[in-house]
Chains A and B, each alone.
Chain A
Amino acid sequence: MPIKTRDNLLSFNTDDPSDVNALKRQKHRPEFPEVWPRRTVYGSAEAFDDGLVPVEAVPDVLISESDYGDALKRAHEEQSLPLYHMYQWRPKGTRYNQDGLGYCWTWSGTGCMMTTRAAEDKPLQYLAPVSMGFLVNWRNAGNYLSSYIKGAREKGVCPADDWDEVNSTNRSSRYWEEKNQRDKYRLDLVWDTRRSAMTQHCVSILCYGRSLYIAYNWWGHALELVGIRMDGSKMEWLISNSHGEDDVIVLTGSRAIPDEAYGFISTVLAE
Chain B
Amino acid sequence: MRTILFAALAWLVTSAAAAQITITPEEPEPYNIIIATVNLGDQIPEGAKVRGSWNVPTCDWTPCGETIHISAKPGKHVIRASGVWVLTKDVTVGEETFPVLVDFGQYSYTKEVLVGEDPVPPPPPPNSKYEIVVFYEGDKLDNYSQDQRSLLTSRVLRQKLENEGHDFLQIVEARAITTTPEGSLADFIKSVVGDSLPRLAIRPVSGGPVQDFPLPENDEGLMKILNGGA
Q: Are A268 and B176 in contact (CB under 8 A)?
A: yes
A-contacting residues, B127-184, CB 8 Å: 138-143, 146, 149-150, 152-158, 168-173, 175-176, 183-184
Q: Are B142 and A269 in contact (CB under 8 A)?
A: no
> B149 contacts which chain A residues (CB < 8 A)?
80, 207-209
> B155 contacts which chain A residues (CB < 8 A)?
78-80, 84-85
A-B contacts at CB below 8 angstroms, number: 83
Whether A266 sits at the interface, judged by CB under 8 Å, is: yes
Whether A120 sits at the interface, judged by CB under 8 Å, is: yes
Whether A124 sits at the interface, judged by CB under 8 Å, is: no
**Dominant SS among interface residues on chain A:** loop
Q: Are A78 and B142 in contact (CB under 8 A)?
A: no
Whether B102 sits at the interface, judged by CB under 8 Å, is: no
Cβ contact of A265, chosen from B2, B138, B158, B176, cutoff 8 A = B138
What class of interface size applies to chain B in its complex with A? 20 to 34
Whether B120 sits at the interface, judged by CB under 8 Å, is: no
> A266 contacts which chain B residues (CB < 8 A)?
138, 173, 175
CA distance A209 to B172 in the complex (A): 14
> A56 contacts which chain B residues (CB < 8 A)?
1-2
Shortest C-beta distance, B153 to chain A (Å), equals 3
For A56-74 the 0/1 string (1 means CB < 8 A from B) is 1111111000000001001
On B, residues with C-beta under 8 Å from A are: 1-2, 5, 138-143, 146, 149-150, 152-158, 168-173, 175-176, 183-185
**Besides A79-B154, A80-B150, A268-B176, 17 other A-B contacts (C-beta < 8 A):** A53-B139, A54-B1, A56-B1, A58-B139, A58-B141, A59-B139, A59-B140, A59-B143, A78-B153, A78-B155, A85-B153, A85-B155, A208-B141, A265-B138, A266-B173, A269-B172, A269-B176
